[in-house]
Amino acid sequence: MRLCASFATSCRGFCSLSNPAFLCNAFLPETEQRCREILSRTSLPPLASAGVLVTLCTFRGAPSFLYTLRSTQLRGRHKGDISFPGGKRDSSDSDIIHTATREAQEELGVPIKANVVWGAMKPITDWTGMVIVPVLANIGTLEDLALNPNPEEDHKEG
């Protein structure tokens, strides 16, 4: 299994590891609130096919994203992909945000509580016509998470 953390190195030209002001302000409550307000205006398609959790975190004190490396043993077109955790909507999911958090919990092995979800981003449609909704969440400090990735979903070392 392999999880990858990526430092946030650029975003519209103003945030980088060389900009200490950005690193100090990235996850301030004011920044989170502003993002939540913007994301609350996102109109979700009623028939979204899948949800992915855009996993914000900190790693060694720097704002980062957490990715997964999908197992090469999976069937279908996503085997071996580097991706955010997520997957197809189940009939039991109350909404697409629930889909993204449920799938992330299954793949990462850690609970994703509703209060860490900032909101849904603009849906995208892939080349097959599947509508995918990215859901932004700050899962916290990577070093403090007791990750227990599902080996059936994610790449095994060795």
21, pLDDT greater than 70: no
Flag whether 155 is in a domain. no
The H-assigned helical ranges of 6-124 are 20-25, 29-39, 96-108
CA separation for the pair 8, 37 (Å, rounded): 22
Assess if residue 158 is contained within a domain. Answer: no
| Residue 131 belongs to some domain of the structure | yes
Q: Is residue 101 a part of any domain in this protein?
A: yes
What does the mean pLDDT of the chain come to? 80
Q: Which of 20-24, 72-76, 114-118, 144-148 has the lowest mean pLDDT?
A: 20-24
> Mean pLDDT across the stretch 46-62?
89
The reply to whether 83 falls in a domain is yes
100 belongs to a structural domain? yes
Helix, strand, or coil (residue 122): coil
Task: Kindly state whether residue 152 falls inside one of the protein's structural domains.
Answer: no
How many domains does the structure of the chain reveal? 1
Domain assignment of residue 72, yes or no: yes
Of the candidates 53, 49, 63, 57, the residue with the CA atom closest to the CA atom of residue 121: 53
Q: What is the pLDDT of residue 69?
A: 80
Give every CB contact of residue 158 below 8 A, 6+ residues apart in sequence.
none
Helices (H), ranges, the chain = 20-25, 29-39, 96-108
Write the CATH number for 52. 3.90.79
Structural domain span for residue 127: 3-144
Mean pLDDT computed over 116-144:
93
